[in-house]
Structure 1
Amino acid sequence: MKHLRPALLGVLSLAYPLLMYSGLGRFEPRWMAIPLGVMAVLRAVATKERVWLVTAALALVLAGTSMLGNHALPLKLYPVLVNSMLLAVFATSLVYPPTVIERLARLREPELPASGVAYTRRVTQVWCGFFVVNGGIALATALWASDATWALYNGLISYGLMGLLFAGEWLVRRRVRAGHVHG
């Protein structure tokens, strides 16, 4: 049960754009704000990390704004919020190392060499760029695109791009490691 909550929260977060798209065609935005509010409360209860508590609080502000004004835009801004918070976490780790990616790498390789630290710093910078671009596109789709385009980008394309970045980095990492072994 302990691991079920984070998994359920992850699935809800991933499905959020598609749930909003299907719901906004049937219900007023104020009623569609309820799933965002519930997800924010679940996130606040499930996490002990301040950044996710802040994200949950800001998601509640978006949900409350949508409920009060009966507007869909605050609901469509949630992916922008998530990208902004992830950018803040990754960028902060560049200023106050170790970087997020270095911490993840050290889980597998505690004695990470200096070249590995430099590589993980570069990867963290790449992820920061990704969050800027992805968040910018999420904002553009929220402001100017149809609900269908917003849901398609934020509920499918952005995850595909993230997967491509993961896969591309994995391939580059293999080549970099092979170069250090043979070099």
Structure 2
Amino acid sequence: MPLTARTATGHAGRLVGLGLLVAGLAYPFAVYAGRDVLSPRLFAVLLGALWLVRTLASKQTLLSRTLAVTALLFCLLLGWADSAALLRWYPVLISLALLGVFGGSLCYGMPVVERLARLSEPELPPAAVRYTRRVTWVWVGFFLLNAGIASGLALWAPLNWWALYTGLIAYLLMGILFAGEWLVRQHVRKTA
């Protein structure tokens, strides 16, 4: 593939990835605001189209492939069932897919956090490898907890509570976890 075509494909993939990020952030609020005017099938078509375009426009890794398959299967089920109750399960499925990827990486191959760390530092010392494994376990715990909370809210809470947690609080918790891990990593590096 010529360099310009490869560059254009990379830009398209990033643009679609950004669209999915925005859609993911807006999804709970769109479900809340559109529950009376938008059909679940329309949500399925729009979300499925974004995931399909992303799958076709970007390089496939285990993480992206797992998320895409999970999301596309969910969209098929949502479109087939046309059930408003199913709309609440998308954040749960994404958390479970991430749990599977992070947890699976602890059993097979290189842990996800180690893979990410090696992008900027290919030759990690053994202490750093152990640290990335522990951080991967922390993310496994987070995704398990997040899926549990989102499931409970999907089953028993009012829609506005679900939207608030899955659209704002869960992302704030992820941000706190990222920031906390960064601070711990800086401390570990200074003491090593």
| TM-score normalised by structure 2 residue count | 0.84
Moved more, 37-46 or 78-87: 37-46
Q: Contact 2:71–2:94 at 8 Å: present in 1 too?
A: no
Q: How does 1:1-183 map to 2 (within 5 A)?
A: 1-2=11-12, 3-47=14-58, 48-49=60-61, 51-180=63-192
How far does the alpha carbon of each residue in 1:45-91 deviate from its partner, in whole angstroms, 9 at most, with x for none? 23423554454344344334333433212221111111111111111
SS in 2 for 1:98: coil
Alpha-carbon distance between aligned partners in 2 of 1:111 and 1:171, rounded to the nearest angstrom: 22
Q: Which amino acid aligns with 2:176?
A: L
Moved more, 70-79 or 60-69: 60-69
Alpha-carbon distance between aligned partners in 1 of 2:70 and 2:119, rounded to the nearest angstrom: 31
Tell me which residue corresponds to 2:7. Answer: none
Alpha-carbon distance between aligned partners in 2 of 1:45 and 1:20, rounded to the nearest angstrom: 26
Q: Which amino acid aligns with 1:35?
A: L
Q: Over aligned residue pairs, what C-alpha RMSD do you find?
A: 1.9
Q: Contact 1:63–1:74 at 8 Å: present in 2 too?
A: no
Moved more, 165-174 or 30-39: 30-39
Q: Contact 1:141–1:150 at 8 Å: present in 2 too?
A: yes
Alpha-carbon distance between aligned partners in 1 of 2:108 and 2:92, rounded to the nearest angstrom: 24
Q: Contact 1:29–1:67 at 8 Å: present in 2 too?
A: yes
SS in 1 for 2:37: coil
Tell me which residue corresponds to 2:5. Answer: none
Count the aligned residue pairs.
Answer: 180
- 1:26 CA displacement: 2.5
Q: Which amino acid aligns with 1:169?
A: E
How far does the alpha carbon of each residue in 1:129-160 deviate from its partner, in whole angstroms, 9 at most, with x for none? 00000011111111111111111110000000
- 1:113 CA displacement: 0.6
Moved more, 52-61 or 169-178: 52-61
Alpha-carbon distance between aligned partners in 2 of 1:132 and 1:62, rounded to the nearest angstrom: 19
Moved more, 24-33 or 129-138: 24-33
CA gap 1:59/1:73 in 2 versus in 1, 3 angstroms = farther
Moved more, 129-138 or 74-83: 74-83
Query: Which segments of 5 or more consecutive residues in structure 2 lack a partner in the other structure?
Result: 1-10
SS in 2 for 1:77: helix
CA gap 1:145/1:90 in 2 versus in 1, 3 angstroms = same
Alpha-carbon distance between aligned partners in 1 of 2:55 and 2:110, rounded to the nearest angstrom: 25
Alpha-carbon distance between aligned partners in 1 of 2:146 and 2:184, rounded to the nearest angstrom: 21
